[in-house]
Amino acid sequence: MNDVFDADEQTEGAAPPAGNLARGVTVIRAALKTMPPAPGVYRMLDAKGDALYVGKAANLKNRVANYANVNGLPVRLKRMVAETHSLEIAITHTEVEALLLECNLIKRLMPRYNVLLRDDKSFPYIHLTGGHPFPQLTKHRGARGPEGDYFGPFASAGAVNRTLIALQRAFLLRSCSDSVFSARTRPCLLYQIKRCSAPCTGRIDHDGYARLVAEARGFLAGRSQEVQARLARHMQELSGRREYESAAVIRDRIRALTQVQGRQDINLDGLGDADVVALHQAGGDSSIQVFFFRGGQNWGNRAYFPAHARHLEAGDVMGAFLGQFYDNKPPPPQILVSHRPTEALLLAEALSARAGRRIEIVAPERGDKRKLVEHALLNAREALGRRLAESTAQRRLLEGVAETFGLDAPPQRIEVYDNSHIQGAHAVGAMIVAGPEGFIKNAYRKFTIREPAAPGDDYAMMREVLGRRFARALKENPDRAGFPDLVLIDGGQGQLAAACQALADLGVNDVPVVGVAKGPDRNAGRERFFRAGKPPLSLDPKDPVLYFLQRLRDEAHRFVIGAHRSKRTRAIGASPLDEIAGIGAARKRSLLHHFGSARAVATAGLTDLERVDGISKIVAKKIYDHFHAEG
């Protein structure tokens, strides 16, 4: 499952000295003389007795014998053999037991030739306490000790804290400890801000509080739509009786629930308990995103960056990650993965043995579950991009950019430009900035396009944005201090010509400008780069410099799309729902009753929209596309 690598050298490197290699082979052959043909785990140790590599095998003797035939080994394995001074084994009854032991030893010993998961933090849960007439809703981390119901895991303390606040607003359950509860004589501040029903002072009786507890338990257990629909009906009944103040309280509770549910189309009926694990590889590195679904609800996600050799295939990384990730935490019944792990059946059997119930590992190829995986993949890609931009490798990447585009030195300031509009309406341009320390977000700028733009005239918008930016820069800094060392624009030959013309009109002829054009069918990895007076060039899809440039382009696109949406929403001047064709008074009312506000509708996922009474799948898609369309 775990291929080997040298943590200090990411390339093949030079072969080890022959004398060291011969000594390592002698150690291995001596161990083979007494090694049984049984399942188990082997550990290769260096001169200090530290583990170099931990591996498992169905047949120890056959597996370890491979390392004695050095002529067929790649250089990195030869280096490992050359460093081996001793070898230890542990025999197990089955290969499943060997796999479990291997994962445990890798996490404990951190051998530098294995795929390593360098994160062992526990996850927080929501705890609905038991053994008290008025249960407490609180955060819990660590072993499950106190009685009650546990819901989670959540990806982070921030995720569980945000959810707790929303749940307090929705269900008004106490968060104070039992000692504080018993000592209170008047309601606390949480009661005043409508986040607690104050059972401590009798503001709600036992039966009323029990109903709130039942609703909270149902919501957390996955019956969120049922709870929300019941609240919506109750709100309408109160409104019909003109009890508007009470109806407003229910409305606020509905809004609080939609804050928990608003997850951009990643809640799925019938999913139950599952983890979604997606892996993205680029530039020889890997990013893994884990999304936690419990009771069909998304409880957040966390990013991981396992250390491994650049050559390692996605299935090998995925298998090693899953084995280590679930070594100290209970797996859900279903694990959805982007790449089928190496030895998937054996891994599922091992996880099932540890959990005492059936665990299924599935790589969905179509349908709603595949959409969940693709969403997680997008997050993995973004996480790797952020890590790449913020890492110490930034300097090497900037050196690669300089070499790629023939710059005199690594750029200290890169400016990236993009624009967004819908047929010329609400046109916005944007600039993002990056340097040796990553993105320089306080230098980002937005440009409201002033001159009328004909539908689709991106060239005119590019000329205006570049012209305004550099005209102001020349006025404020005649000596050109702070000018960029490289300008990237989103577009091909036409956008490049427009940008160069704008700079030439201002007498700025010494700033390199590069156009980044999307590949055929907008495929990432097949971009073409345009430079004035030079032929277009493309980079190897696995080149880290290409991935870095893609990340810069994507950050500019994200920033300008956000600016465009904000401007478009402000221009509406009324409810954003009024702008959607086919949404009349009845459908608008149904949406607001279901979600509590127009903002919640805007952030709702497609499947959530389809659940609203009177909203068909076609209408739901129209609403979703309206709020998520790219300019």
Q: DSSP letters along 83-127, please?
A: H--EEEEEE-SSHHHHHHHHHHHHHHH--TTS-B-------EEEE
What are the structure tokens assigned to 392, written together?
């110490």
Residue ranges for the chain with pLDDT beneath 70: 1-15, 18, 118-121, 158, 222-225, 256, 258-270, 389-393, 421-426, 451-456, 519-525, 563-575, 629-631
Q: How distant, in Å, are the alpha carbons of 416, 466, 469 from that of 505?
A: 20, 11, 13
Q: What pLDDT is stored for residue 265 in this prediction?
A: 43
We find that the CATH architecture of domain 394-568 is 2-Layer Sandwich (3.30)
Q: For the domain made up of 18-109, give the CATH fold.
A: GIY-YIG endonuclease (3.40.1440)
CATH fold match for the domains 18-109 and 274-390: no
pLDDT of residue 20: 84
Contact 184, 134 (CB under 8 A): no
CB 411 within 8 A of CB 434: no
Q: Which residue has the tokens 């928990």?
A: 260
Length of the chain: 631
Q: How many Å apart are CA 333 and CA 316, to the nearest integer?
A: 22
Position 107 scores a pLDDT of 84
Tokens linked to 627: 């709020």
Give me the pLDDT at residue 11, please: 37
- Write the pLDDT tens digit of every residue in 305-322: 998 887 888 999 999 999
Provide the residue ranges of all domains of the chain, joining segments of one domain with +. 18-109, 124-222, 274-390, 394-568
**What is the model's pLDDT at position 572?**
45
CB 537 within 8 Å of CB 408: no
pLDDT of residue 339: 96
Q: How far apart are CA 399 and CA 121, in angstroms?
A: 36
On whether the pTM is more than 0.85, the answer is no
The yes/no answer on whether domain 274-390 falls in CATH 3.30.420.10 is yes
Q: What does the pLDDT read at residue 269? A: 59
CB atoms within 10 A of CB 608: 27
* Residue pLDDT, tens place only, 402-412: 999 988 888 99
224-240 and 244-261 helices cross at what angle (nearest 10)?
Answer: 160
